[in-house]
Amino acid sequence: MTNTITLSTSGVTPEDVIAVARHGAKVELDPSAREHIQSVRQHVEDLASNPTPVYGVSTGFGALADTSIPQEKRQDLQRSLIRSHAAGTGPEVEREVIRALMFLRARTLATGHTGVRPVVVETMLALLNAGITPIVHEYGSLGCSGDLAPLSHCAIVLLGEGRARGADGEERPVPELLDEAGIEPIALEEKEGLALINGTDGMLGMLLMALADLRELVKAADIATSLTVQGLRGRDTVFGPELHMPLRPHPGQADSAANVFALLKDSPIVADVLAEGSRVQDAYSLRCHPQVAGGVRDTMTHAAMVAERELASAVDNPVVLSDGTITSNGNFHGAPVAYVLDFLAVVAADLASICERRTDRMLDKARSHGLPPFLAEDPGTDSGFMIVQYTQAALVAEMKRAAVPASADSIPSSAMQEDHVSLGWHAARKLRVSVENLRRVVAIEILTAARAIDMRAPLKPSDAGAAVVAKLRETVEGPGRDRFMAPDIEAAVQLLKDGDLVAAAEGVAGELK
């Protein structure tokens, strides 16, 4: 992984954002970008000295846009903007989200379309490189006019105010943190306060991280399906390539089917089922997995396209055009990002739902084709995985609630000047919950399917399935009498988060799509 990322006028990649947000990569400003930022700044300073009012430079904000601000009060204007807008409340937002938000705002500032001085960008990068993380709260953004409150809680730290945590995670006075890192607080000049807070950076950062997580989770769901097919003595024929791209050319469906087909290769359990020939077809939750997981993949492809376009954008209001003109616009509206955040929550919930249905089927002696009730060692005395499925169902229920779109709502603000908002921040926050819940749902299916496969002995699973079960068994015991289940669930979740189960499968079946 790259240790240092160079921020230029040409933008950054999703991988850059993940590296900074999650892995602490350092960021430096390209010298040519610094020169460009400085040259654009001159246009702002020229307009600031002009008697004609310019929004964000010599006027108030929002519903106060028609209020002209005299020269001697403009530093106060910028400082007051940040102080008043740092009005979030509720639980603290995760460190990785805040780092992504700051990096993406610095990226926009580096385009030169915001009109700030280079020192503003450099100070933001200095915070990131020092590991100083402003404290940002859950509530405060309406997803329009930018993620105002979250970005303001970051911007106020540049002024030497607000609240922040050091690289060790401990909260300390901001002046102390800045002094220790050799960072000088800045006094904002015309346009700079608004430029620091008028962007979709929070929701975009969360979208990029959600996509990174979901790419691994759809692979994990394919692995879970392959294990469940074997645990339930299912068939592999429905995953054959001739049934997908030639007949229904959805790319995601073909990829998912190919994954499951490869993971089931040479399975003795499947071979025994086909030789027995007692069942013509399996239940929908097995047979239709590629159609569901494929739809998730195709939705992710669309969401990634939106994210890439947003990464290439310079979101600010007003914006400095290439000819030096400063003009108002509506590019800060988060609708495009909000829509796909909501869409991803919908498909994540449906993927979790089909996983839960497969898990439940393995626990029901009437539908599990020979497995003991709830996979219990001594049914009646033991409850087996009965309540494990309850936990999985509770996770799915939460995801279904989170699938209700935030972007379908709007609450007007700023004395009706800002009368339609995206609520994209809300869409992003609930998607984070959905992604984490999906990881737990898939982990529980894998736990259950591994136990079911073990109970099919002496029949064995495919080599890929055996590799996944073996990796799981390094930290989670196999079938036996009832025991404390919560640690087993957490161990499986961690194996998914670390990528170990996917790696075990790919070590045998090859790279999954």
Cα Rg of the chain, angstroms: 26
Tell me how far apart the alpha carbons of residues 474 and 504 are, in angstroms, rounded to a whole number: 12
3-class secondary structure, 138: strand
Distance, CA of 388 to CA of 306 (rounded, Å): 37
Longest CA–CA span in the chain (Å) reads 88
- Tokens 């995760």 correspond to what residue? 94
Q: Are 171 and 163 in contact (CB under 8 A)?
A: yes
Q: How far is CA 253 from the centre of its chain?
A: 22
Q: Per-residue b/e over 99-112, b at no fewer than 16 CB within 10 Å?
A: bbbbbbbbbbbbbb
DSSP string, 20-51: HHHH--EEEE-HHHHHHHHHHHHHHHHHHTSS
Length of the chain counted residue by residue: 513
The whole-angstrom separation of Cα 374 and Cα 136 is 44
Q: Write down the catalytic residue from 55, 139, 339, 390.
A: 55
Q: Mark whether 339 is an active-site residue.
A: no
Q: Which residue has the tokens 């509770």?
A: 394
**Among 383, 336, 359, 371, residue whose Cα is nearest residue 459:** 371
Q: Can you state the percent helix, strand and coil of the chain, rounding each to 5?
A: 60, 5, 35
Angle of helix 201-231 relative to helix 463-473, nearest 10 degrees? 110
Q: Smallest Cα–Cα separation from 103: which of 85, 131, 124?
A: 124
- DSSP labels, 473-496: HTTS--S-S----HHHHHHHHHHH
| Active site residue ranges | 55
